[in-house]
Amino acid sequence: MKTLESRPIQANPLVFAIALGTGGLLSLMVHLNGELAQFGNPLFSSWVAHGTGTVAALVLLAVFYRIARKSGMNPPAPFWAYLGGISGAATVSLSSLTVNSPVGLPGTLALGLAGQLAFSFSADKWGLFGLPKRPLAGRDFVALALVLSGSTLIIFSSSI
């Protein structure tokens, strides 16, 4: 695997807007799944979320399949790429539990962000899942420490 010393940041405002929008959708998803878990349980919430996601994915697949087929853009996916549903199901179930706890929605999302950063740093360092290896820098640890500090403030300030 090749190693990257640094990654250039592309200053495309649309990419930043999409990323922010995705974060908003994630917050909405966690909230709605937590609400659904109150009327059933986290497993029920996960089943409903993934059932509606399956329907949406099938509709999108039907729409985009022809486009991809005509352009020849169907490279084979590696086996591990199909395992995302497992982590998705665990995420929905576990976040449905924590959002209905004293941690609440902001704490759940803040700690989730810290977990995402920690895992992505590991994936970059060791080149997991086909990513190019990237040595960790001090700023990576500072960023993680700041997110964890912010998570702590969010969780404990809401209980005061």
CA distances (Å), origin 130, targets 16, 126, 156: 24, 10, 38
Tell me the two tokens of residue 36. 């659904």
Asked if pLDDT for residue 10 goes beyond 70, the answer is no
> Are residues 158 and 107 in contact, defined by beta-carbon separation less than 8 angstroms?
yes
CA distance 11 to 81: 29
Write down the pTM of the prediction. Answer: 0.69
CA pair distance 19, 53, nearest whole angstrom: 20
Dump pLDDT digits (tens) for 102-158: 888 888 888 888 999 999 999 999 999 888 899 999 999 999 999 999 988 988 886
CB 30 within 8 Å of CB 109? yes
Instruction: Please state, in angstroms and rounded to a whole number, the distance separating the CA atoms of residues 62 and 152.
Output: 44
Tell me the C-alpha distance between 119 and 1, whole Å.
Answer: 19
* pLDDT tens column, 63-74: 887 776 677 666
